[in-house]
Amino acid sequence: MVERRKPIKVNEAVTRVMRYAKQGSVKFVPIEESYGEFLADDLIADHPVPPFDRSPYDGFAIRSSDTVNASSQAPLSFKVVGEIGAGSVFNGTVGPMETVRIMTGAQIPEGCDAVIMFELVKELAGGEWIQLKRPLESGDNISFAGEDTEKGEVLVKKGTYINPGIVALLATFGYKQVPVSVKPKVGVIATGSELLDVDEDLQPGKIRNSNAYMVLSQIKRAGGEAIYFGQFSDDFETCFNQVKNALEQVDFLITTGGVSVGDYDYLPAIYEKLGANVLFNKVGMRPGSVTTISELDGQLLFGLSGNPSACYVGFELFTRPIIRTYLHSVHPTLKKAEATLGTDFPKPNPFDRFVRGYLSFETGKLVATPVGLDKSNVVSTLGRANALIVLPGGTKGYENGMQVSVLLLEDQEGDTLESFFSPNINDRRSRRNGE
Ligand SMILES: Nc1nc2c(c(=O)[nH]1)N[C@H]1C(S)=C(S)[C@@H](COP(=O)(O)OP(=O)(O)OC[C@H]3O[C@@H](n4cnc5c(N)ncnc54)[C@H](O)[C@@H]3O)O[C@H]1N2
Ligand code: MOO
Ligand SMILES: [Mg+2]
């Protein structure tokens, strides 16, 4: 008799997995290698930026109180008492009716409180004097210390993906070595007697193994270190030994295939023999309903489906938040947004659907369009998907123009679990309509 599995809700499944989430350790990398890593400590400004009042223009630094009576009818003359480029400091104090020639980025000389651009003054006597035809106010054209950021401000939270702008901040605050999260080692094993390797010619009844390479890339996109243990035929002993061996070398292990109820689906038996605790083996979602996740002494085993789209979605919903939490992120899930559905989606389904979609901006609106054939065994449409369109189950289908929730696949910011669990826009609408 085939085992009857009881599906649980997606949120409940994520909650069960997240109970085993843990944070990894911290290491230091040279700043040149920090791009694409995850910051392991809050980045706090330990000095104001800029650290001193400076000139935003090439011009003349001046005491504004000396300029009160300047006009085009009665221009005032100032003696140029010095010249400073960025990096130089004027020694001394600028006195009444004196000015200093100053370049962009140079520190405002003592006594001065305004700057006027070269273009707005007349130089006299070979540059020894300048003539000014307008009054300046205190603070005119000064880039003040701390106007960019104040000392003590938390600029980047730990767990954030380090982008080039953050690298600039790290440099600004003197991080020659950057504290980053150690990436979790995530193992991948593909199961299936039908699997050919990438470089093999097609043979009757066989297909090339695409899941392993797809998942290895998903691990990297999520921020993990991917370790491939190879592909194995549907043979219980072989797969059991491979899983057992791999578990000793990784933080988390992903298998693809063999989790359903088929004669050669050995993962359930492997979990049993390992003594692993199965958190769930059926989720009310499409694709990926057979996703099975278990834990052995706190170590998570992700039994992703063999069907490529199901495997892909299972990873993004369940493995990604575990990887991101390990990297100290408090936004571990895919980022959720709202968009307008770009086509009809008439298929009814009791389960929540995560439809591979393409998000685009059309006259200022975010539009989500399914990328094509929405079956769990397709691989051809995955490459175009930059979002998963969330279509909660229990409806008669969806129509072009409806508001839908979407999960962004290429975003690096992520979302909190709370936001991920918040009702999808379609759920909210269903409730309003009393459905
Ligand atoms: N009687 C039932 N049959 C099935 C059920 C069910 O509930 N009752 N669930 C269906 C659903 S839904 C899915 S999804 C699949 C899941 O199957 P498995 O996870 O056990 O995976 P396999 O049986 O090993 O393979 C399924 C499918 O995927 C292809 N595959 C496998 N590995 C790869 C790979 N590395 N690269 C590319 N493609 C792969 C494989 O050839 C099969 O076509 O079960 C349904 N059946
Ligand atoms: O798990 Mo299957 O992917 O629901 O289609
Ligand atoms: Mg199967």
CA–CA dist 17, 293 (Å, integer): 7
Best probe residue, ligand 1, of 255, 305, 382 (max atoms within 8 Å of C-beta): 305
Best probe residue, ligand 1, of 267, 307, 313, 315 (max atoms within 8 Å of C-beta): 307
Count CA atoms closer than 13 A to 324's CA, side-chain side: 27
Cβ atoms of residues 426 and 405 within 8 Å:
yes
One-letter amino acid for residue 329 of the chain? S
Distance 299 CA to ligand 2 centre (A): 24
Q: Which pLDDT belongs to residue 434?
A: 46
Q: Is 427's pLDDT higher than 90?
A: no
**Fold assignment, 335-432:** Beta-clip (2.40.340)
Distance 292 CA to ligand 3 centre (A): 12
The stretch 327-343 carries a mean pLDDT of 97
- For residue 301 the two structure tokens come to 């085993």
Q: Which run of H or of E encompasses 267?
A: helix 267-274
Range list for CATH 2.170.190.11 in the chain: 59-132
Q: Which pLDDT belongs to residue 429?
A: 56
Q: pTM of the prediction?
A: 0.93
Distance 234 CA to ligand 3 centre (A): 10
**What is the CB < 6 Å shell around ligand 1?**
190, 192, 194-195, 207, 209-212, 256-262, 265, 287, 289-290, 305-308, 310, 376-377
Mean pLDDT over all residues of the chain? 95
CATH of domain 27-49+147-181: 3.90.105.10
Q: How does pLDDT run across 114-173, given as a tens digit for each residue?
A: 999 999 999 999 999 999 999 999 999 999 999 999 999 999 999 999 999 999 999 999
CA–CA dist 410, 382 (Å, integer): 13
Class of domain 10-24+183-326: alpha beta
Range list for CATH 2.40.340.10 in the chain: 335-432
Instruction: Determine whether the shortest distance from the Cβ of 281 to ligand 2 is under 6 A.
Output: no
Q: How does pLDDT run across 19-61, given as a tens digit for each residue?
A: 999 999 999 999 999 999 999 999 999 999 999 999 999 999 9
CA–CA dist 415, 419 (Å, integer): 6
Q: How does pLDDT run across 130-140, given as a tens digit for each residue?
A: 999 999 999 99
Cβ atoms of residues 80 and 128 within 8 Å:
yes
Q: Is the reported ipTM for this assembly greater than 0.95?
A: yes
Q: Is 428's pLDDT higher than 60?
A: no
Class of domain 59-132: mainly beta
Range list for CATH 3.90.105.10 in the chain: 27-49+147-181
CA–CA dist 76, 49 (Å, integer): 34
Q: Which pLDDT belongs to residue 435?
A: 45
Instruction: Determine whether the shortest distance from the Cβ of 307 to ligand 2 is under 6 A.
Output: yes
